[in-house]
């Protein structure tokens, strides 16, 4: 991917800067501000990045980061084209809910805008025991950037996720077919999530077994 393919970028609430590419991927230049883990610098390139509102992001995070259920996150495709909606689907039975059940459907876009939240997809499936480390949830976008001065250095340093296109109208394929990156999520990122309380308590899992399954509030950056 050449630097000419950069569409621009954006800055999130915690100060992280992102470069946004024409293939709907991003590279994050991480800020350590307001984090337990003060690590900074370039993060691996996403397999695909979408943008959602706060409520949808919180709800999605609750499903994906629940270690008690196995899920996948996949876009809705009609006549070979994405509709701008994506669903969380069970891949294993969960209480009365059977594998294949759609837990919730969310609207998304592949274009960043102020007020939206970036969702960087590295792996769109989350098995039993996983806490959704394959998806990075960013904080609110505060500013759109026309230029990203550091992108050349980031392209040299970052590893591409080798994803297929999901840009509207361009050979769309489900997240599950494009989300597996060739890199691992950094250990520091995983530990930070645990330290930040991202793991869903057992009592919450028990509640979800007996009541209507709902997403929980989980925002990370």
Residue 217 has pLDDT above 50, yes or no: no
Residue 65 has a CB neighbour count (10 Å cut-off) of 23
Domain boundaries, the chain: 3-210
Q: Are 133 and 110 contacting, i.e. CB atoms less than 8 angstroms apart? A: no
User: To 5 degrees, how large is the angle CA 207–CA 133–CA 91?
Assistant: 55
DSSP 8-class letter at 185? P
The pLDDT value given to residue 154:
84
Mean pLDDT of the chain: 77
Residue 38 has pLDDT above 80, yes or no: no
Which has the closest alpha carbon to 154: 16, 14, 50? 16
Compute the distance between CA of residue 19 and CA of residue 4 in angstroms, rounded to an integer. 12
Which has the closest alpha carbon to 86: 5, 143, 24? 24
């Amino acid at each position: 991917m050449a630097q000419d393919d950069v569409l621009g970028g954006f800055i999130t609430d915690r100060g992280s800067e992102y470069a946004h590419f024409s293939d709907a991927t991003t590279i994050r230049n991480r800020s350590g501000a307001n984090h337990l883990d003060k690590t900074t610098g370039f993060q691996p390139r996403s397999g695909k990045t979408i943008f959602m509102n706060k409520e949808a992001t919180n709800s999605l995070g609750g499903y994906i980061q629940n270690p008690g259920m196995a899920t996948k996150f996949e876009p809705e495709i009609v006549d070979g084209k994405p509709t701008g909606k994506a669903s969380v689907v069970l891949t294993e039975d969960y209480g009365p809910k059977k594998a294949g059940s759609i837990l919730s459907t969310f609207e998304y876009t592949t274009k960043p805008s102020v007020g939206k939240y970036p969702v960087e997809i590295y792996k769109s499936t989350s098995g039993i025991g996983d806490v959704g480390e394959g998806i990075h949830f960013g904080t609110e976008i505060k500013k759109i950037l026309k230029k990203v001065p550091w992108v050349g250095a980031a392209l040299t340093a970052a590893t591409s996720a080798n994803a297929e296109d999901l840009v509207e109208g361009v050979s769309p394929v489900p997240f599950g077919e494009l989300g597996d990156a060739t890199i691992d999520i950094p250990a520091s990122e995983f530990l930070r999530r645990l330290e930040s309380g991202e793991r869903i308590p057992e009592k919450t899992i028990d509640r979800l077994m007996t009541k209507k399954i709902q997403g929980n509030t989980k925002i990370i950056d």
